Structure 1
Amino acid sequence: MEIKFREATVQDSEVIGSLVVELTTEICELTNTKHFDIDLNGTIQRCNELISDGHYAAIIGVYEGNPVAVVTMTETYALYAGGKIGLIQEFYVSPEFRASGVGSMLVEQVEGYGKKHNWSCIELCTPPLPEFERTLNFYQKNGLNPVGGRKMRQALS
Structure 2
Amino acid sequence: MLFRHAVLEDAPAVAALVGELLTEIVAAIGEPVFHFDMSETTERLERFMREERYVVLVASDSAGPIGFITLYESFALYAEGVFGTIPELYVRPAYRSRQVGRELLSRAKALARTRDWTRLEVTTPPLPAFDRTLTFYEREGFVISGGRKLKLAL
Partner of residue 89, structure 1: 87
Partner of residue 54, structure 1: 52
Partner of residue 36, structure 1: 34
Aligned partner of 1:70 among 65, 68, 71: 68
Residue 101 of structure 1: how far off its partner (Å): 1.1
Q: Which runs of 5+ in 2 are unaligned?
A: none
Per-residue deviation, residues 30-78 of structure 1 (Å, max 9, x unmatched): 1111111121111001001111111111000011241111001110111
Determine the C-alpha separation between the residues in 2 that align with 1:4 and 1:78: 34
Q: Which amino acid aligns with 1:21?
A: G
Determine the C-alpha separation between the residues in 1 that align with 2:8 and 2:29: 31
Q: Which amino acid aligns with 1:155?
A: A
Residue 106 of structure 1: how far off its partner (Å): 1.0
Partner of residue 136, structure 2: 138
Determine the C-alpha separation between the residues in 2 that align with 1:146 and 1:32: 25
1:154 matches 2:145: no
Per-residue deviation, residues 8-38 of structure 1 (Å, max 9, x unmatched): 1222111111111110010001111111112
Per-residue deviation, residues 94-136 of structure 1 (Å, max 9, x unmatched): 1011111111111101001111111110001000001000110
Q: Which moved more, 1:34-43 or 1:124-133?
A: 34-43
Percent identity, aligned pairs only, is: 35
Partner of residue 9, structure 1: 7
Q: Which amino acid aligns with 1:31?
A: I
Q: Hey, which bits of structure 1, 4+ residues long, moved more than 3 A?
A: none
TM normalised by structure 2 equals: 0.97
Determine the C-alpha separation between the residues in 1 that align with 2:102 and 2:52: 26
TM normalised by structure 1 equals: 0.95
Determine the C-alpha separation between the residues in 1 that align with 2:132 and 2:23: 18
Cα RMSD of the aligned pairs, angstroms, is 0.9
Q: Which amino acid aligns with 1:18?
A: A
Partner of residue 109, structure 2: 111
Determine the C-alpha separation between the residues in 1 that align with 2:100 and 2:7: 21
